[in-house]
Amino acid sequence: MKAYSHKHPKASPLINAIPGVADKARSMNLPYWIIAHDNNPFGIVIVGQEPQQLTAPPGTPVALVTLEPSQASSGKLPDFISTATELVTEKNLANALVTISFKHRRAVRQFLQAGFEPFDDYYLMYRQLSQRWAPTTELRFESVKQRDTHEWFKTATRFLAGTGDTALNHNLQYMLDLPDTFLTRYHASEILYFVAKGDTTIGILDIHGTRGWIGNMAVDPLSRRQGYGKQILTFALNQLKIRGFGKAGLRVHVNNKPACQLYDSFGFKKTARLKRLLWWNHRYIAS
């Protein structure tokens, strides 16, 4: 098993053989390595810095490992995993994160046996936007200006804490240290809202305005169980409908039962279950 830089002369045919995986790497505009056995590509290791997945403090060098789905049951998978972690060690990266479909249970076991740890376990859920919902009159949705993005993250950190989402709880410890350059990019790609009742902020929301995606949505712990989550979700769905999307998507941790029940009640259907596993490089030396 060998790793080839995306600039290596032999990389082009390997990249073309796994277009879905390679497109993800190219879209991130980051250096990456294709791992292959006898010209048979298994996957890619993308090298970047946090915040990529917020597994470590901003600026920490990390890797994203993407396995070609057709290789999930290959007998050579342990060699792929070993080559990927060797590359992470060689490049002095702090960790490597891989996302695998829950249905590829054998692959999940092999990554765990190689020292990867469970990090996340979540559903992707979607529903068609064939209707409009009656808008809420109880809550006020205030669009967040760029200068207030850090304040939005500060509020989100407080409101999102303590859910059943283990990965999110890990991410929250780094949210307030996000650099201004990231905040500027994030504000440009997302539509952010403070949710207020009267003069009190009781929730936050972000939706992706170009791909029909609902991101973080949360209610102040002191204001929960009053129907505000339903009102925020209704607003989000109406906004996506207004923008011309035919369906809405979101991610929810499998252990976040209240959120799962809310999305189920709105007709969202689970389309996939994905697991993210994290490998820590214990030889990493911070620069």
pLDDT of residue 29: 85
pLDDT of residue 135: 80
Cβ within 8 Å of residue 44, ≥6 positions away: 18, 21, 22, 24, 25, 32, 33, 34, 35, 65, 66
**CA 275 to each of CA 98, 99, 100: distance values in angstroms, whole numbers, following the listed order:** 8, 6, 5
Cβ count near 8 (within 10 Å): 13
In a domain? residue 264:
no
In a domain? residue 267:
no
pTM assigned to the model: 0.90
pLDDT tens digits for 104-116? Answer: 999 999 999 999 9
* Claim to verify: residue 104 and residue 137 sit in the same structural domain: no
In a domain? residue 105:
yes
What CATH number should be reported for the domain holding residue 143? 3.40.630.30
* Helices 228-242 + 257-265 axis angle, to 10: 50
pLDDT of residue 144: 96
Q: For all residues of the chain together, what is the average pLDDT?
A: 92
* Claim to verify: residue 138 and residue 86 sit in the same structural domain: no
pLDDT, average across residues 135-157: 92
In a domain? residue 162:
yes
pLDDT, average across residues 229-234: 95
Query: Parallel, antiparallel, or unpaired for β 61-67 and 213-219?
Result: unpaired
Task: Give 124's pLDDT tier (boundaries 50, 70, 90).
Answer: very high
* Claim to verify: residue 117 and residue 147 sit in the same structural domain: no
In a domain? residue 287:
no
Separation between Cα atoms, residue 10 and residue 96, nearest integer Å:
24
**C-beta of residue 63 within 8 angstroms of C-beta of residue 93:** yes
Separation between Cα atoms, residue 190 and residue 127, nearest integer Å:
20
Nearest-CA neighbor of 3 among 34, 29, 46, 28?
34
* Claim to verify: residue 107 and residue 140 sit in the same structural domain: no
* Claim to verify: residue 103 and residue 160 sit in the same structural domain: no
* Claim to verify: residue 141 and residue 112 sit in the same structural domain: no
* Claim to verify: residue 27 and residue 49 sit in the same structural domain: yes
* Helices 105-113 + 77-90 axis angle, to 10: 40
Question: What tokens appear for 62 in the block?
Answer: 């990390």
- The answer to whether residue 219 scores a pLDDT higher than 90 is yes
Nearest-CA neighbor of 270 among 119, 163, 101, 127?
127
* Claim to verify: residue 169 and residue 145 sit in the same structural domain: yes
pLDDT of residue 146: 93
pLDDT tens digits for 82-98? Answer: 999 999 999 999 999 99
* Claim to verify: residue 38 and residue 9 sit in the same structural domain: yes
In a domain? residue 260:
no
- The answer to whether residue 5 scores a pLDDT higher than 90 is yes
* Claim to verify: residue 148 and residue 221 sit in the same structural domain: yes
Task: Give 140's pLDDT tier (boundaries 50, 70, 90).
Answer: very high
* Claim to verify: residue 135 and residue 230 sit in the same structural domain: yes
* Claim to verify: residue 7 and residue 92 sit in the same structural domain: yes
3-state secondary structure 208-226: ECCCCEEEEEEECHHHCCC
pLDDT of residue 134: 83
Number of domains in the chain: 2
pLDDT, average across residues 43-48: 95
- The answer to whether residue 162 scores a pLDDT higher than 80 is no
- The answer to whether residue 248 scores a pLDDT higher than 80 is yes
Separation between Cα atoms, residue 54 and residue 167, nearest integer Å:
9
pLDDT tens digits for 172-218? Answer: 888 888 889 998 988 988 999 999 999 999 999 999 977 899 999 99
Answer whether the bond into residue 51 is a cis peptide, omega within 30°.
yes
pLDDT tens digits for 29-43? Answer: 899 999 999 889 999
In a domain? residue 268:
no
In a domain? residue 254:
no
Structural domain for 236, as ranges: 131-245
